[in-house]
Amino acid sequence: MHTPFNDIFKTRYPIIQAGMGPYDTTKLAVAVAKAGGLGLISTVGMGSFKMPGIGEFKYSAIFGTGTPEQLLERSMDHVLKEIVTDNDARFGVNIPVSEEFIPTAARLIKYVIDRLKKDPAAKKKCVVIVTSAGDPLPWSVNPGDKKLDVSIPIKKELPSITWCHVVPSIRAAKRCEKANVDVVIASGREGGAHCSWRDTSTMVLVPEVVQAIKKPVIAAGGFCDGRSLVAALALGAIGIQMGTRMIATKESDFEQSWKELLTKTTEEDTLIARGFFGPMRFVRNSRALKLVDATVRGAPDLYKGIPTGSTQEIIDLEVNGLENLFKGNIDETPVLGGQVAGRIHDIPTVKELIERIIKEADETLAKLQKFK
């Protein structure tokens, strides 16, 4: 299977593994890169968030001690060591640029750019920066009036890097085009973890983004197999990004209890609640229900699609709830996951999963020929 995705990212298959907290997804990125997809290191747990009226906190203590730069260096070193002999293995870094994370995001972006400038081996393998959960324009070459003091013009500093940005709407996609982002990742609200305030599904969002902008589009939110890959291509996308499906793999950095819960989840068993930096989709359990209750009290306009701030209660329920994961209490853990969990029934290796997806996509395309 060959689409413009393969030409842009130099991978065998048009599949991105999403960046997903609370883990850095280092092992997962290696497995995906080796299997022919594009693996991403997740950085959401590598720094601190500054919440108005609440203060500063760290989302995750999973990575141990160190500055954001040191933590990212550790992850990149591991990935590079593991894929150095695989000629077509490629990876990238996902960096949220939400307002609450901007100071950390700037440090992480600067580290990636500086590293690739001085390290030819890293530059060959690390081919993309994916920004998400915020505005791309401050990070463009011509940011205009909203340039942040800490922002970095990504493409000006490193023209060779492919810059992707994740969007939940047509308006945000046009913002990407204005910022001259290379590739837009259109993510419908059925996706797991951070999602849009407004309720727009992948089926509606992706073809409209494809029509609205002249940039290549990757589809995200609800993808897990060959049939959904073919659907994405039919909607005009050049490939897919998968998050929840990638969690439930043998090489995934996530806890086994998290993976197993996804295989038991139905298509009806996810909920939207206000997270620490916007609405997020969780797998239904006791903790998710408590987050919904806190959302209704602390962010009542969530279900009207109107942005509202987080609360200390929500932060405590989500961030501190992660401690329960390591105590073996998955029911009291805020488990992030998309609606596609209802279509996940096993925990294969990444290689098995990707090969299965491509095989099914080829078979699906062949079956569709009879409808010509």
Q: How far apart are CA 79 and CA 91, in angstroms?
A: 8
Predicted pLDDT of residue 259: 97
Closest alpha carbon to 44 in 94, 78, 79:
94
Residue 285 — very low, low, confident or very high, per pLDDT cuts 50/70/90?
very high
CA count, 13 A, side-chain hemisphere, 247: 30
Predicted pLDDT of residue 170: 96
Tell me what the mean pLDDT of segment 160-188 comes to: 96
More reliable by pLDDT, 315 or 147: 315
Closest alpha carbon to 39 in 53, 27, 21, 51:
27
User: Which residues pair with residue 38 across a beta bridge?
Assistant: 16, 90
How far apart, in Å, are the Cα atoms of 177 and each of 18, 105, 158, 159, 266? 21, 21, 18, 16, 37
Q: How far is CA 197 from the centre of its chain?
A: 17
Tell me what the mean pLDDT of segment 203-229 comes to: 98
Mean pLDDT (the chain, rounded): 93
**Phi and psi angles of residue 360, each rounded to the nearest 5 degrees, phi first:** -65, -35
Tell me what the mean pLDDT of segment 265-279 comes to: 92
Cβ(132)–Cβ(19) under 8 Å? yes
Token pair of 19 as six digits: 């960046």
Furthest C-alpha separation in the chain:
60
Alpha helix (H) ranges present in 251-311?
Answer: 256-264, 286-298
Predicted pLDDT of residue 278: 86
pLDDT at 230 over 90: yes
pLDDT at 144 over 80: no
pLDDT at 224 over 90: yes
State which H helix or E strand residue 79 sits in.
helix 68-83
Tell me what the mean pLDDT of segment 70-91 comes to: 95
Closest alpha carbon to 349 in 209, 250, 203, 213:
250
pLDDT at 146 over 60: no
Whole-structure pTM over 0.85, yes or no? yes
Predicted pLDDT of residue 155: 94
Q: How far apart are CA 163 and CA 337, in angstroms?
A: 25
Helix 68-83 / helix 102-118 crossing angle, nearest 10 deg: 40
pLDDT at 145 over 60: no
Closest alpha carbon to 273 in 340, 197, 202:
197
pLDDT at 293 over 70: yes
More reliable by pLDDT, 58 or 18: 18
Asked if the peptide bond before residue 136 counts as cis, ω within 30 degrees of 0, the response is no
Predicted pLDDT of residue 120: 94
**Phi and psi angles of residue 161, each rounded to the nearest 5 degrees, phi first:** -75, 145
Percentage of residues in the chain with pLDDT exceeding 90? Answer: 76
pLDDT at 142 over 80: no
Q: How far apart are CA 32 and CA 29, in angstroms?
A: 5
Helix (H, G, I), strand (E, B) or coil at 342: helix
Predicted pLDDT of residue 61: 62
Residue 371 — very low, low, confident or very high, per pLDDT cuts 50/70/90?
confident
Question: Which domains are seen in the chain, by residue range?
Answer: 4-252 (3.20.20.70)
Angle at 337 between CA 164 and CA 332, to 5 degrees: 135
Predicted pLDDT of residue 370: 85
**55: number of Cβ within 10 Å:** 11
CA torsion 125→160→148→307, rounded to 10°? -60
Predicted pLDDT of residue 248: 98
DSSP category for residue 51: E
Q: How far is CA 353 from the centre of its chain?
A: 18
Tell me what the mean pLDDT of segment 37-42 comes to: 97
Predicted pLDDT of residue 231: 98
Closest alpha carbon to 202 in 220, 184, 180:
220
Predicted pLDDT of residue 311: 87
Predicted pLDDT of residue 69: 96
Q: How far apart are CA 105 and CA 320, in angstroms?
A: 22
pLDDT at 222 over 60: yes
Exposed, middle or buried: residue 183 (CB in 10 Å: 0-12, 13-18, 19+)? buried
User: Which region among 47-56, 156-165, 258-267, 272-281 has the lowest average model confidence (pLDDT)?
Assistant: 47-56
Predicted pLDDT of residue 143: 66
Residue 1 — very low, low, confident or very high, per pLDDT cuts 50/70/90?
confident
